[in-house]
Amino acid sequence: GVSPKSSAATASSSSSSCFSSDTFITLSNQKQIPIEQLRSADELLTTDGSIIFPTQMMIMLDKSKFSQAMFHTITTASGHNVSLTELHLIAIIKNDNTINYVPAKQIKIYDVVYVMSNDKLVSSIVTNVIREMKTGYYAPLTTSGTLFANGILTSCYANVHSHKVAHVAMSLLRFYHWLAQLLFINEPFGHQDMEGMHVVPKVMYELAQFLYPSALRFS
């Protein structure tokens, strides 16, 4: 997820903003690929809580293949599991069937999440949450700000009070991505093989911090 960390501090501080390297992402053709293989313009799947629909990969905000981080691994009754750093937002279903995004560290047993099972959207109870150290982390950003990670609906954002406000804060990035596609620019954010946080979202978050100081929390 997005978190305004300098690349110099990735070994420890990115532990607030990413997926583990063993995460698989579901593409719109139902194929599952390792998160490290995601590329700009890949078509992924997400949901709004009612239907499953495509979303597009824009940029890998942050990544490190060999750095260690502490993850919260969340397991569901459906047999799905995903490892997120503690401040990464994950969707839970409230009593009125609306979606609320909360940090992974707040997830408890009996919370209910959305999972994709046999190409269908179903809800599933959280049955276990553990903390574990893993090597490698990745932080993809999609046009919807959400994706299915290991079949579980998650946000692309982290270290923020509100998923919705974070998504609004990144609207300029989405506009640039849309414009680049219109102009047939293949690498709108440049070559993305470098480790660490991408400079574009770093600048965007500094701007967002200025515009939305009360809604975004940075550490």
Residue 41: per-residue pLDDT: 85
Of the pLDDT bands very low, low, confident and very high (cuts 50, 70, 90), residue 79 is very high
Average pLDDT rounded to a whole number, residues 54-60: 91
Q: Is 3's pLDDT higher than 60?
A: no
Q: Which domains are seen in the chain, by residue range?
A: 15-211 (2.170.16.10)
Residue 162: per-residue pLDDT: 83
The set of long-range contacts for 181-186, using a CB threshold of 8 Å and a minimum separation of 24, is 181/41
Q: Is 172 helix (H, G, I), strand (E, B) or coil?
A: helix
Check if the beta carbon of residue 1 is closer than 8 Å to that of residue 159: yes
Average pLDDT rounded to a whole number, residues 104-118: 97
Q: For residue range 144-167, what is the model confidence (pLDDT) as tens digits?
A: 999 999 999 999 998 888 888 887
- Exposure of 185 in the CB half-sphere (CA atoms within 13 A): 14
Check if the beta carbon of residue 45 is closer than 8 Å to that of residue 154: no
Check if the beta carbon of residue 130 is closer than 8 Å to that of residue 72: yes
Residue 148: per-residue pLDDT: 97
Mean confidence (pLDDT) of the chain: 82
For residue 189, give both structure tokens.
């954010």
Q: Is 192's pLDDT higher than 60?
A: no
Q: For residue range 201-214, what is the model confidence (pLDDT) as tens digits?
A: 566 556 656 665 55
